[in-house]
Each structure stands twice: as C-alpha cells, then as structure tokens.
C-alpha cells in the first residue's frame, strides 16, 4: 500500500489521492490476510522431544499438521509456498515494478532544464527518495530470501533436519529476516543524514 502512495506521489503527483474509505478497506484486507497467514501457528504449534543424529536431544516448538510434522507435511509445504508468495514474491515484484517506473520517470526526464529552481530542488528530492527506497528493497530481499529458501531446501532434503547444526542455521536465518525491521530505520536515518550534510556543504 505504501508503494502505491509513493508511486503516485512521484510519477502522478497531480492525481487525486486514494479516499479514506478505500484506504480503510485495503488496510482491513491486509490485516485479515496477515491473521490468516499466522493462524496455522496458533492451531498446530506443538512442543516435541527431537533426537539429532549425534545423539543429542532438544525440546523444539514446531508445527504438527494433520498429515505430519513440518518439513515432511505436504500441507506445510503448501503453506510455505503461500507464505513465500504473499510475504516475499508479491511485495518484491510490486516494489521492483513501482521503483523501476519511478526511476524511469525521474532519470529519463529531459525537461529538468526548463524547471524553476524550486521545481529542480523538488525533483532532486524525489530522486533521493527513490534511491533510499531502492536501497530498502534490496535490503529486504537480502534479509528475507535465505529464510524462505531454507524451508524449501529442508523439505526436499529432509535428512538435514536431523543434523544439530541445522537448528543454528535456522535461528541465524530467522534473525537475519527479523533484522530487516531494525535496518530500515537505520537506512532512513543514514541516507537522510547524508542528504542534510550535503546540503550544508
């Protein structure tokens, strides 16, 4: 949704804004979809004693689907595909398309010489915003892709789930994905700080 607003602001600044009613409907849809994606964790989460190949034992929290445990269950595989599509593939595709059009509209614009000083400053500010958003998109892709690939790999190579190291790998990939929320404010702050410093110089 935020991508839509950014796209309109940069490419079609004179178009009418989305109405409050439409925005409310979109927000409710996103919340409902998020709740549905999280529902299996509420319904099927269990704790089990898991024996690793080296003889060690650990209590783990995992999903027990109607047909089997996570990593073996076909339901779990379908869930991970749906989760990947709605939380990674669609957001990444929408961001790439939106920012590509925005970049083309800004960097491909040949009438900047005809703009007033104020218009040129606004134009440059839009370019800086697009650069920042592209950076955020790249970081999002880097942080979340390994996490999603992990589940597909384990499903097709189930024997690795018995290795003690796999739990540490999963936790590392999980924290990498979660770190995306921490990195975004830092990116905004650093790029804005650099922009302010350049203006001072």
- DSSP secondary structure, 150-161, as one string: HHHHHHH-GGGG
What percent of the chain is predicted at pLDDT more than 70? 77
Q: Are 61 and 45 in contact (CB under 8 A)?
A: yes
Neighbours of 38 (CB within 10 A): 11
pTM value > 0.85? no
Stronger pLDDT, 183 or 163, i.e. the higher one: 183
Q: What gap in Å lies between CA 96 and CA 138, rounded to an integer?
A: 10
Domains of the chain: 1-64 (no CATH), 68-200 (1.20.1070.10)
Q: What gap in Å lies between CA 95 and CA 73, rounded to an integer?
A: 32
CA proximity to 183, closest of 147, 132, 145, 149: 132
Q: What gap in Å lies between CA 27 and CA 32, rounded to an integer?
A: 9
Q: What is the mean pLDDT of the chain?
A: 80
Q: For residue range 141-177, what is the model confidence (pLDDT) as tens digits?
A: 999 999 999 999 988 888 887 787 888 898 999 999 9
Highest mean pLDDT among 25-34, 50-59, 116-125: 25-34
């Amino acid at each position: 949704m935020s991508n839509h607003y950014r796209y309109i602001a940069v490419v079609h600044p004179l178009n009418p804004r989305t109405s409050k009613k439409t925005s409310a409907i979109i927000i409710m849809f996103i919340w409902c979809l998020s709740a549905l994606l999280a529902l299996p964790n509420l319904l099927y989460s269990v704790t089990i004693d898991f024996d690793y190949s080296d003889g060690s034992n650990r209590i783990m929290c995992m999903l027990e689907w109607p047909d089997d445990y996570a990593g073996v269950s076909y339901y779990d595989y379908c869930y991970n595909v749906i989760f990947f599509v709605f939380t990674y593939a669609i957001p990444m595709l929408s961001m790439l398309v939106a920012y590509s059009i925005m970049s083309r509209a800004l960097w491909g614009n040949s009438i900047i010489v005809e703009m007033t000083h104020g218009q040129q400053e606004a134009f440059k500010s839009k370019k800086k915003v697009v650069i920042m958003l592209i950076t955020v998109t790249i970081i999002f892709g880097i942080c979340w892709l390994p996490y999603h690939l992990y589940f597909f790999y384990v499903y097709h190579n189930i024997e690795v789930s018995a290795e003690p190291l796999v739990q540490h790998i999963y936790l590392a990939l999980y924290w990498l994905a979660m770190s995306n929320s921490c990195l975004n404010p830092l990116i905004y702050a650093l790029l804005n700080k650099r922009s302010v410093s350049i203006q001072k110089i």
